[in-house]
Structure 1
Amino acid sequence: MPALSTAAASASKAPAARPRRHRPATGPVPDFDVVIIGAGSAGLSAALVLGRCLRRVLVCDGGAPRNAPSPAVQGFLTRDGTKPAQLLELGLHELERYTTVEVRTTRVTAIVRHGKQFELTAEGETGRSRTFTTRKILLATGVEDELPPLEGMREFWGSGVLHCPYCHGWEVRDQPLAVYGQGKTVTGLALLVSRWSRDVVVCTDGPGNLTANARRRLRLQGIQVREEPITRLQASADSGLELVFETGQLLARRAVFLHAHQHQRTNLAEQTGCRLTSKGAVWVDKNNQTSQPGIYAAGDTTPGTQQAILAAAQGAQAAICLNEQLTREECPK
């Protein structure tokens, strides 16, 4: 019988079986590999990396991010000066090509662990609740700022009242600035802000609780301290603002910096038993995993410096750690 040609021989072979995707060894298959709660810089960055890993991902978008009142995101390489909403729109657009990633406008209200999986309950825009299951969770819900109960603080928040000189210092450089607060916190922030302006005034709104050494350090940098009570902030004629003291005196400033107290935007970390730091941040290890196995966290939710670019980096790092943990579970020794 004549030998088959090379082409014919190749054609006569059965097609090679395609490698099977990694699967958990046992148990029911959940709806998703990872559910990301939060659609800010951290959450969308994590979704991008996990989408590129072919992971089944759900992003739960619970609303506007913390920096929504800010006129722009600063210090974000290639996106310096981009409006916060536009940055997120760009991120969502990039996710469209990754078919394993789904984004829903929904708010997660409850998380229940079932062995190595989780069942989440979420409420949609219509108020209707539904449940779904996942192998892992990434908390990227962020924080909310607690502003002092001073008239005008909320109205100027993000424009004239600012939280971060690294984010906003360049825009108000060489202009008269104020730093609001008391004690050690206001001292450190005022010294930092003095990098951007030689005209900085600390306003403590009553007794400043400043040590003699703190006053000395401020004085050496030419930083004045005003301890009179303040009644309100108001707009000034030159598009800045004015601090109005109880005495009736006005202090015109281009902007006021402060370190606002914060709290977690949701109680999901507390609800699931995740350890919190003394400052209320969600504790994570070097792999961005919380104290609860299978629950990870990234962005402003966790301790550390808060910037959009750092949140995005943490989201990417958490995604890599998540994918590698999932792979270890799918490929047992």
Structure 2
Amino acid sequence: MKKYDIIIIGGSYSGLSAAMALGRTLRNVLIIDSGKPCNRFTPHSHNFITHDGAVPGDISAKAQEQVLAYPTVEFITDTAKEAIKKDGGFEVITASGIAYNSKKLLVATGVIDIMPDIKGFTECWAKSVVHCPYCHGYEVRGKKTGILANGDAAYHYALLVSQLTDDLSIYTNGKAEFTTEQLEKFAKNNISINNVKIAELDHTDGYVNSIVFEDGSRQSMDAIYSKPVNVQHTDIPEKLGCTINEFGLIQVDDMQRTNVAGVFASGDCTNGQRAVAIAVGSGMKAGAMINAELAMEVF
């Protein structure tokens, strides 16, 4: 059975970036990808230099084409279900029942967003309900904007979004939880707070028209900032013994190494700052470090 230098679980932006660094150093690489990138719901990707406004799928397709031009890199569409640490490396077993072996392992699987129980939220997600002012804020600048969050999360959004629109309000979907200082800042910046429970987001093809409350009232709206709870796409890192931090992310050091020898992680599964540019950067760093470790082991 062929033993790869590295298996990369997850072939989106971060995994492909790592694969390019490794392919260019003649490492034998296998990428296993299920074809469900985190940002597949987003019509356009922004704040990634040279690709600003591009369709996410077009970016990843071009990246895959360029990465697979390196003859030592292979790509399969499958789902990694299990990884076992063995002497000298790892065995990864896929949903199709095939086992692959490698010296190192990179997890670049992103996260799964858990949508709140609000009718219409899922349909609006990544279109008119967005999570990142840097990725989407410019496109909704000057519009009637809501923040669907509470506490420090809402405050952080308000701090960043207030310069993008003069029509900003916060919807806590229940009892508001703010400090006196935060409430004073909201008042200073003319940001209102509504704590009525939300029943629905009325929308047209994913573009919100209004927030509908449980008491029957509604508020017209053009865009909403919200960050759903998210979970890891796979339990493989946890089963291998990788530390998962208090935010549910894989804990890595400055070079994308986990606490388990030979296991690296990069991209959204390690970082709450979910942006294509950051995912690509962390993948490049992981690829370079994996190559360095492999080189040091035999030099």
Deviations 1:2-44 (A, max 9, x none): xxxxxxxxxxxxxxxxxxxxxxxxxxx9510010000111000
Give the fraction of aligned pairs with identical amino acids, expressed as a percent: 32
Asked if residue 162 in structure 1 is aligned to residue 130 in structure 2, the reply is yes
Q: Say which of 275, 287, 291 aligns to 1:323.
A: 291
What amino acid does structure 2 have at the position aligned with 1:326? L
Asked if residue 115 in structure 1 is aligned to residue 87 in structure 2, the reply is yes
* SS at structure 2 position matched to 1:169: helix
Q: What is the distance in 2 between the residues matched to 1:118 and 1:233? A: 46
- 1:94 aligns to what? 66
- 1:40 aligns to what? 12
Q: Which residues of structure 2 form unaligned runs of 5+?
A: none
Q: 1:116, CA displacement in angstroms?
A: 2.4
How many residues end up aligned between the 2 structures? 298
Q: What is the distance in 1 between the residues matched to 2:232 and 2:209? A: 30
TM-score, length basis structure 2: 0.96
Q: 1:279, CA displacement in angstroms?
A: 0.8
Deviations 1:174-228 (A, max 9, x none): 1110000111211211221112111101011121112222111111111111111
Q: 1:304, CA displacement in angstroms?
A: 4.2
What amino acid does structure 2 have at the position aligned with 1:253? M
* SS at structure 2 position matched to 1:85: helix
Which of 1 and 2 has higher RCO (CA within 8 Å, sep 6+)? Answer: 2
Q: Say which of 29, 39, 56 aligns to 1:67.
A: 39
Q: 1:64, CA displacement in angstroms?
A: 1.6
TM-score, length basis structure 1: 0.87
Asked if residue 308 in structure 1 is aligned to residue 280 in structure 2, the reply is no
- 1:85 aligns to what? 57
* SS at structure 1 position matched to 2:216: coil
Report the structure number with the largest CA radius of gyration.
1
Is contact 2:201–2:208 with CA below 8 Å preserved after alignment?
no
- 2:238 aligns to what? 270
What amino acid does structure 2 have at the position aligned with 1:196? L
Q: Which residues of structure 1 form unaligned runs of 5+?
A: 1-28
Deviations 1:200-257 (A, max 9, x none): 01011121112222111111111111111111101269x5421012232221111110
Instruction: Tell me: CA distance 1:240–1:260, structure 2 relative to 1, closer, same or farther (3 Å).
Output: closer
Q: What is the distance in 2 between the residues matched to 1:304 and 1:230? A: 26
Asked if residue 138 in structure 1 is aligned to residue 106 in structure 2, the reply is yes
Q: What is the distance in 2 between the residues matched to 1:96 and 1:184? A: 43
Q: What is the distance in 2 between the residues matched to 1:206 and 1:240? A: 20
What amino acid does structure 2 have at the position aligned with 1:271? K
- 1:177 aligns to what? 145
Instruction: Tell me: CA distance 1:226–1:236, structure 2 relative to 1, closer, same or farther (3 Å).
Output: farther
Q: What is the distance in 1 between the residues matched to 2:292 and 2:68? A: 23
